[in-house]
Amino acid sequence: MPVELPVEPMLAKAVPTVPTAAPGGGGLLYEPKWDGFRGIVAFDGETVEIGSRGGKPLTRYFPELTAALASALPGPCVLDGEVVVPTGGAGGQRLDWDALTQRIHPAESRIRKLAAETPASFVAFDLLATADRSLLDTPFGERRAALESFLADAQAPLFLTRVTDDAARAEAWLAEFEGAGLDGVVAKPVDEPYRPGKRTMLKVKHHRTADVIATGYRIHTSGHGVGSLLVSLYTADGRLAQVGGVSAFTQRMRDALVEELADVVQRDEHGEPVTGEGERSRFSSGRDTSFVVLRPERVLEVRYDQMEGDRFRHTVQFERWRPDREARSCTYEQLEVPHDYDLAQVLA
């Protein structure tokens, strides 16, 4: 290929609102922000390899996708895009993050089973090279035109992401497409070359706040202070359900939180802190998931972007303590639920 592989993906920095101009001046093109695994697809004319954002190969986890792309791509190329898993029936399709993450599994038999049950798709949004030409130094506006021409006949599971130069339309996408499982909008300077590893794109994600209850904490890996807080909400039937975690504290705050939460640590008959065992997943294998149990009394406000089922999709950020709130008042009813939107309409 005319570019050296693996290529490190170009990245985006967060901005609070949809921008109307590039930081240094110039125009922008806007795209939906896909909620999947970033993937660099390299096709040499015979075989397909998929590299991840961190440089690790994803190829073995998506055998159905690599086979389909080898047939669907019109020629050798290097594409930047997103591996996603759509689920749901006609008129109610959406991106399924949980189904996607289940594909990262050591057993080939498990991967093959999931590939048949929940096949993946690839949404392309940049063309980095063709058989005899590198486009890394080409402005994005020209790369986008080349991508549209190259994938003019693309068919599922290969998709070309939609694009607009209208900031108002991008604002509408930010609101509408969340219902299909997307998590924001990306703005790309039309005059910029492809800059591997550099944050030259801009991203706008959903940010909301919720009042939640601190129900546990894990000790930081250093052995000192609070590494993460476990937070919960009350369900409609009065059950306390864990909804996620809060982390990324400074060392000063990690130490302060131990004192802050000392009076609500649940203790046994000997005065020792009660510990619980956290939920395990394929990502926590071998890790200590135990935590100190807290009485459900302390309320805090957190920032979050979106929900995945009945839990926060990502780790949430601490905003402030809410001593004015009663823990029992912290329920799922406060959470903003986006209107449903059919993923097929976004992919069309």
Three-class SS of residue 259? helix
Rounded alpha-carbon distances, angstroms, from residue 156 to 53, 69, 152, 236, 239? 23, 9, 12, 40, 42
One CATH from 1.10.540.10, 3.30.470.30, 3.40.50.10140, 3.40.190.10 for 11-205: 3.30.470.30
Which pLDDT does position 281 carry in this prediction?
46
Outline which parts of the chain fall under CATH 3.30.470.30.
Answer: 11-205
Strand pairing of 184-189 and 48-52? unpaired
For domain 208-334, give the CATH number: 2.40.50.140
Q: Is 33 a catalytic residue?
A: yes
Which pLDDT does position 278 carry in this prediction?
66
- Are 37 and 123 a contacting pair, CB within 8 Å? no
Which pLDDT does position 341 carry in this prediction?
85
pLDDT tens for the chain, 348 residues: list them: 899 999 999 999 988 899 999 988 899 999 999 989 999 999 999 999 999 887 789 999 999 999 999 999 999 999 999 999 999 988 889 999 889 989 999 999 999 999 999 999 999 999 999 999 999 999 999 999 999 999 999 999 999 999 999 999 999 999 899 889 888 999 999 999 999 999 999 999 877 889 999 999 999 988 889 999 999 999 999 999 999 999 878 889 999 999 999 999 999 999 899 988 866 444 444 566 789 999 999 999 998 888 888 898 888 999 888 887 889 989 998 887 677 788 999 988
Distance between CA atoms of 83 and 256, rounded to whole angstroms? 41
Which pLDDT does position 14 carry in this prediction?
85
Distance between CA atoms of 63 and 73, rounded to whole angstroms? 16
Three-class SS of residue 40? strand
Outline which parts of the chain fall under CATH 2.40.50.140.
Answer: 208-334
Sheet strand arrangement including 184-189: 11-14, 199-205, 184-189, 28-32
Distance between CA atoms of 198 and 174, rounded to whole angstroms? 24
Q: Find the catalytic residue in 13, 33, 56, 188.
A: 33
Which pLDDT does position 334 carry in this prediction?
84
Which pLDDT does position 337 carry in this prediction?
67
Which pLDDT does position 221 carry in this prediction?
87
